[in-house]
């Protein structure tokens, strides 16, 4: 397969649909010159953010308006995700301009600007981060006044923001974090810094200081560092994904370049670059400003003499420096169908804009890349280095599995214990309620004996899915407690609300009508008994006592007939 495709492209020639554009190319030239009687508008060369004054910025549906509205919300968090060259910086430029109009202070931290030595420890990284923000806010750093080794770098950083920066600045602060994917390359730092951002966002719902902080997180691909669900900043806030240009967008941009294009003229470019904003703009610049025809742009596109040569060579160099990544991409280039790759490699290729992710599989992002890279040597192959990279990626994946139950893919007992303990400490400080549900699948041993272990496993998976659907808040944690027992941690939830959620879980599971003919219950379906408790954590109680109380409530629910909830009345 690989040899056939390489041979087909050995002469750097585009496929027939790009040679025969199905149009009169002289008409293309006339269209190019039709603007203002042949006078072309002055167009800036594409690269970096599109200036605020430029007419070449293409709005993406209602994304800008949604982002503006979110910026006005106390403690808000906006996540902008797209591969490189898709317009993240242009959108950010407009968000920061909007913030300034609202008299908000603006700060931008670009993690690509940090020296490698900054990433050698969490303490160095957070001190660099704080000093960077303070300088942009025109505040003295004063780090040593707030940094305490006894409480650790993460809490020191949080107090530095809460008690110093947010206190010193009267207005709201918009803090934009660019190239966050750079941190993914340093898992130990990512696993501390990213949950801290999540905590700041959650604090914005109740702490006055953090309500002034508005976070904008820009990243080129999905997070591939193992993070517990309740600690990730990538499942909260307003998510904005920048898509490629549509055919209509290309026509609009062509008109702004002085090109009178209809769909027939725009479609060949779309087919070559799949609407990639930077690649589209580069083509239009050369057509409108350099007296080139679209036919010539497309014919030379994957060659050294083409307008994309510098861009393509940059990508090639990146791949050649990472053999495992190059070999993975080679599989995509030489395959007609989608390809399943190791998770981290897939996300790195997506970050570069080389592939699109379709579930667990990858496809090449545009025909230009297939044409060019089919001819390139994606090596040299260093088997030992590739294997080392693969082992490192497998280790990251294994660390993620430590916190997940293998069968149900929800939090495991270890993760539950850690989260309950952390929430107990957090809520003790603010004297807020903490709810806990303990669930047991009724007569599960008989179910296993009757239907077999595979059916039993499937039943537990269905129970876990019901719990996840019902416990919807980002702060809720659903966990497998052991065997057929499950637990749900409900921060900031009183007994009445906890009981209401427990009843919803019981009802929703019943609606599945999973047959259980050997159950002693009349319904003849799988049911659950649920113990409910909510306390305000304090010095007299403990997470262990909370679990014991929930277990007693679960025992009462079983004793009183099963398929019911029982709420413990004790305070913590």
Task: Give the mean pLDDT of 294-321.
Answer: 93
pLDDT band at 184, cuts 50/70/90? confident
Please tell me the least confidently modeled range out of 16-30, 472-486, 510-524.
Answer: 16-30
Chain segment 106-126, per-residue pLDDT in tens: 999 999 999 999 999 999 999
Work out the burial of residue 336: count CB atoms within 10 Å of its CB; fewer than 13 is exposed, 13-18 middle, 19 or more buried.
exposed
CA distances from 105 to 66, 201, 311, 437 (A): 20, 18, 35, 43
What pLDDT does residue 27 have? 42
The model's confidence at residue 168, banded by pLDDT at 50, 70 and 90, is very high
- The candidate with the shortest Cα–Cα distance to 194, out of 67, 344, 77, is 77
CB 527 within 8 A of CB 561: no
Instruction: Look at residue 16 in the predicted model and tell me its pLDDT.
Output: 47
Under the banding of pLDDT at 50, 70 and 90, the label for residue 401 is low
Q: Picking from 43-52, 175-184, 501-510, which range would have the lowest pLDDT averaged per residue?
A: 43-52
Q: Is CATH 3.30.70.3270 what the domain over 63-241 is classified as, yes or no?
A: no
| 496 φ/ψ angles, rounded to the nearest 5 degrees | -65, -45
Per domain, the residue ranges of the chain are 63-241, 308-400, 413-567
Q: What is the mean pLDDT of residues 126-147?
A: 95
pLDDT in tens, 283-299: 999 999 988 999 999 99
**Rounded distance between C-alpha atoms, residue 416 and residue 547, angstroms:** 11
- Same CATH fold assignment for domains 63-241 and 413-567: no
The per-residue pLDDT of the chain, averaged, comes to 86
For 353-365, write each residue's pLDDT tens digit. 999 988 779 999 9
Tens-place pLDDT, residues 500-549: 999 999 999 999 999 998 887 877 899 999 999 999 998 788 999 999 99
Q: What is the DSSP letter of 185?
A: T
CA dist 422 and 428 (Å) reads 10
Topology classification of domain 413-567:
Alpha-Beta Plaits (3.30.70)
Tell me the β-bridge partners of 219.
81
Interval 208-217 mean pLDDT: 95
Q: How far apart are CA 42 and CA 27, in angstroms?
A: 22
How far apart, in Å, are the Cα atoms of 240 and each of 11, 61, 84, 236, 562? 41, 11, 15, 12, 45
Helix axes 323-333, 343-351, angle to 10 degrees: 80
d(CA 535, CA 549): 10
pLDDT tens by residue, 223-270: 666 667 677 887 888 999 898 999 999 999 999 999 999 988 899 999
pLDDT for the residue 251: 95
User: Maximum Cα–Cα distance for the chain, whole Å?
Assistant: 89
């Amino acid at each position: 397969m690989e040899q056939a495709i390489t041979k087909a492209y050995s002469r750097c020639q585009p496929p027939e649909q790009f040679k025969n554009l199905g149009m009169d190319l002289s008409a293309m030239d006339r269209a190019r010159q039709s603007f203002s009687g042949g006078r072309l508008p002055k167009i800036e060369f594409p690269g970096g953010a599109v200036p605020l004054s430029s007419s070449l910025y293409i709005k993406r549906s209602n994304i800008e308006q949604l982002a503006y509205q979110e910026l006005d919300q106390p403690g808000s968090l906006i996540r902008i995700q797209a591969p490189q060259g898709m317009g993240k910086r242009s959108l950010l430029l407009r968000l920061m301009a909007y913030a300034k109009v609202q008299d908000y202070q603006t700060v931008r931290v670009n993690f690509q600007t940090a020296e490698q030595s900054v990433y050698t420890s969490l303490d160095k990284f957070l001190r660099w981060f704080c000093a960077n923000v303070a300088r942009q806010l025109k505040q003295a750093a004063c780090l040593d006044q707030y940094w305490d080794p006894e409480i650790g770098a993460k809490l020191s950083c949080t107090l530095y923001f809460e008690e110093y920066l947010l206190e010193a600045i009267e207005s709201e602060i918009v803090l934009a974090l660019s190239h966050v994917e750079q941190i993914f390359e340093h898992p130990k730092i990512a696993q501390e810094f990213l949950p801290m951002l999540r905590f700041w966002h959650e604090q914005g719902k109740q702490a006055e200081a953090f309500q002034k902080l508005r976070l904008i997180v820009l990243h080129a691909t999905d997070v591939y560092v193992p993070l517990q669900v309740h600690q990730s900043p990538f499942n909260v806030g307003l998510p904005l994904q920048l898509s490629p240009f549509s055919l209509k967008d290309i026509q609009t941009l062509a008109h702004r370049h002085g090109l009178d294009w209809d769909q027939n003229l725009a479609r060949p470019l779309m087919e070559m670059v799949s609407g990639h904003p930077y690649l589209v703009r580069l083509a239009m610049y050369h057509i409108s400003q350099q007296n080139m025809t679209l036919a010539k742009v497309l014919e030379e596109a994957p060659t050294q003499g083409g307008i994309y040569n510098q861009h393509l060579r940059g990508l090639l160099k990146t791949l050649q420096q990472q053999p495992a990544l190059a070999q993975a991409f080679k599989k995509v280039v030489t395959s007609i169908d989608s390809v399943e790759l190791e998770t981290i490699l897939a996300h790195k290729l997506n970050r570069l804009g080389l592939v699109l992710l379709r579930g667990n599989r990858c496809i090449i992002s545009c025909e230009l890349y297939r044409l060019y890279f089919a001819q390139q040597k994606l090596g040299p192959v260093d088997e030992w280095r590739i294997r080392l990279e693969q082992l490192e990626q497998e280790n990251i994946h294994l660390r993620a599995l430590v916190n997940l139950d293998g069968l149900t893919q929800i939090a495991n007992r270890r993760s539950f214990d850690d989260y309950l303990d952390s929430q107990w400490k957090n809520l003790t400080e603010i004297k807020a309620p903490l709810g806990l549900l303990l669930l047991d699948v009724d007569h599960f041993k008989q179910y296993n004996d009757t239907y077999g272990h595979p059916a039993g496993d499937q039943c537990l998976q269905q129970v876990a899915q019901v719990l996840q659907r019902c416990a919807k808040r980002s702060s809720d944690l659903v966990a497998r407690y052991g065997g057929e027992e499950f637990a749900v941690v409900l921060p900031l939830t009183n007994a009445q609300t906890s009981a209401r959620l427990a009843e919803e879980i019981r009802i929703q599971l019943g609606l599945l009508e999973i047959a259980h003919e050997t159950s002693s219950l009349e319904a003849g379906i799988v049911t659950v008994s649920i113990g409910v408790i909510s306390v305000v954590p304090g010095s007299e109680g403990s997470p262990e006592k909370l679990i014991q109380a929930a277990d007693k409530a679960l025992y009462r629910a079983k004793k009183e007939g099963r398929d019911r909830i029982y709420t413990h009345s004790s305070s913590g």
